[in-house]
Amino acid sequence: MKVGIPKEIKNNENRVGMTPAGVHELVKHGHTVYVQHTAGEGSGFADEQYTKVGAKVLPTIEDVYAQSDMIVKVKEPIEPEYKLIRKGQVVFTYFHFACDRPLTDAMLKSGAICIAYETVQKADHSLPLLAPMSEVAGRMAAQNGAYYLQKTKGGKGKLMAGVPGVKPAKVLVLGGGTVGEAAARIAAGMGADVTITDISIPRLRQLSIELPTNVHTLYSSEHNIKNELHDVDVVIGSVLVPGDKTPKLITRDMLKLMEPGTVLVDVAIDQGGCFETSHPTTHSDPVYTIDGIVHYAVANIPGAVPNTSTTALTNATLSYAVALADKGWKKAVTDDPALAKGVNMVDGKVTFEAVARVWNLPYTPLSEEISK
């Protein structure tokens, strides 16, 4: 199979779809890999590192899309890429269709096979291709919360750890999944007073055992969340419903319960965000203020640490990419039910139920498309 690795063109997105180590594995399996010129530079991988392991470097993004049977990316295609994607081409990347109707319509029109990292799901409900970026985003959410809590950045002017005689900052983490656990662990390591919420009592029990003693667990309800807001300093939103839109846990009216300079970090912005007042921002313009409350809602948080992120992502995606290339997408998803859950669209049809429901589109079971 011919596999293409284009350069990411989203604002300040420095990650790349695959490391040279990953490309080496595909080449070893007999596949041709095309890498766009300078695609890996933002992550610290020069063109020479790719050619050394057998990749062919192409000058433009158009060349990569035109010559490849499968595209392996990081972020969802953006408008300039829509016209480059063709019928029958496999696109393996993060899509987040449930919060982007133009992207949904464009990919349906293209007739491509869209396999979304974020909905690949194992039998134990774990999300193996979302987990590595969730771990990065959760860690960075705590770092960014601390940074924007500084008075010079619009925050309250509090130090996360406090000092002897001065209480530490209070951090509220909404959602006890991979992002939330990582955020709570880093915030706790900084010395903050951390509360993490979830609707699963078994998960809260597990977190209470595994996280440091300055992390407290709280059952997630509107009442309990409201009670935490009057003196909170940083709120980290890390709620996820796989493949679906995120519920709004902090409404516009709830902003007035918080003190001016409180920082909201919405890690769930990729799936629509869990704060009603959130809208996607970029690394070049990451924050805005509403009613005195600082909002950080960068949609590609791990893009700020691309070397770590690209390596972690390739570690997770490579076995699936190799299976798709070795077997073709139909046999690969037939053999692996987890990968099958990643197939969101085939030949202009929505094959992931949550996406169809969000946009009121017809749903086609994947089995019908595989059998063709």
**Angular region, 32: left φ>0, alpha ψ -120 to 50, beta rest:** beta
**Angular region, 31: left φ>0, alpha ψ -120 to 50, beta rest:** beta
**What is each CA distance from 142 to 183, 226, 262, in whole angstroms?**
5, 21, 14
Q: The tokens of 180 are what?
A: 């939330």
Q: What is the rounded CA–CA span in Å between residue 114 and residue 89?
A: 8
From 63, 198, 270, 336, active-site residue: 270
Is residue 96 annotated as a catalytic residue, yes or no?
Answer: yes
Strand partners, 113: 90
Buried b (16+ CB within 10 A) or exposed e, 253-285: ebbebbeebbbbbbbbbbbbbbbebbebbebee
Is residue 270 annotated as a catalytic residue, yes or no?
Answer: yes
Contact (CB, 8 A) for 117 and 92: yes
Q: What is the rounded CA–CA span in Å between residue 259 and residue 247?
A: 23
What strand order describes the sheet that includes 70-72?
56-58, 32-36, 2-5, 70-72, 90-93, 113-116, 343-346, 349-350
> 């980290």: which residue's tokens?
236
DSSP state letters, 142-211: HHHHHHHTSGGGTS----TT-BTTBPPPEEEEE--SHHHHHHHHHHHHTT-EEEEEES-HHHHHHHHHHS
Which of 250, 214, 234, 215 shows the shortest CA–CA distance to 156?
Answer: 234
Q: What is the rounded CA–CA span in Å between residue 276 and residue 178?
A: 22
> 């109707």: which residue's tokens?
101
Q: The tokens of 369 are what?
A: 């498309």
Which of 355, 348, 354 shows the shortest CA–CA distance to 369?
Answer: 348
The SS3 assignment for 276 reads coil
From 24, 31, 63, 96, active-site residue: 96
The residues annotated with a catalytic role in the active site are 96, 270
